[in-house]
Amino acid sequence: MSDTADGADPTDPQVACFEAGIKFGSLYHQFAGTPVSPASAPSLAAAMEEAIENQPHCESVTVDVREDALAEAVAEGPAEYTELTGRFFEAEIHIACEGVEVVAGMAMADGYPLMEVRSVRKRA
């Protein structure tokens, strides 16, 4: 790693958290706007999980579709599908990097899909 502006290398937990952020950015922005219906939601969630799990340091990804919100949006719209946004799913990503485990998640908070680091711990 190269030195930062203050002369210190990033810590292992900082590197692991950065990796979690990269995975979440990819998860959200790669799939946002994808056409989704109640029938296709499970296969889309599986595709999201499998795609992100391909990335380095990613141990697991869980995507849970908020079926009630999705069904409501489709019922209110002019078509039998809508486009995927953060209000239709919650996600959790587990990262293992540089001897550190990071769990990051995304859930709705005050109408906004909030991504956060949930835990950081050294691996035994």
Domain annotation covers residue 43: yes
Query: Which stretches of the chain are DSSP H helices?
Result: 12-31, 41-53, 67-76
Residue 31 counted as domain residue: yes
Domain that holds residue 62: 12-122
6 within some domain? no
pLDDT in the model for residue 84: 96
In this structure, is residue 35 part of a structural domain? yes
Residue count of the chain, please give it.
Answer: 124
Q: Which of 20, 10, 11 is nearest to 96 (CA)?
A: 20
Q: Residue 3 domain-assigned? A: no
Q: Is residue 4 part of a domain?
A: no
pLDDT by residue for the chain (124 residues), tens digit each? 555 567 799 999 999 999 999 999 999 999 999 999 999 999 999 999 999 999 999 999 999 999 999 999 999 999 999 999 999 999 999 999 999 999 999 988 998 999 999 999 998 7
The CATH number for 30's domain is 3.30.1300.20
- Counting the structural domains of the chain, the total is 1
Residue 87 falls inside a structural domain: yes
Is 99 part of any domain? yes
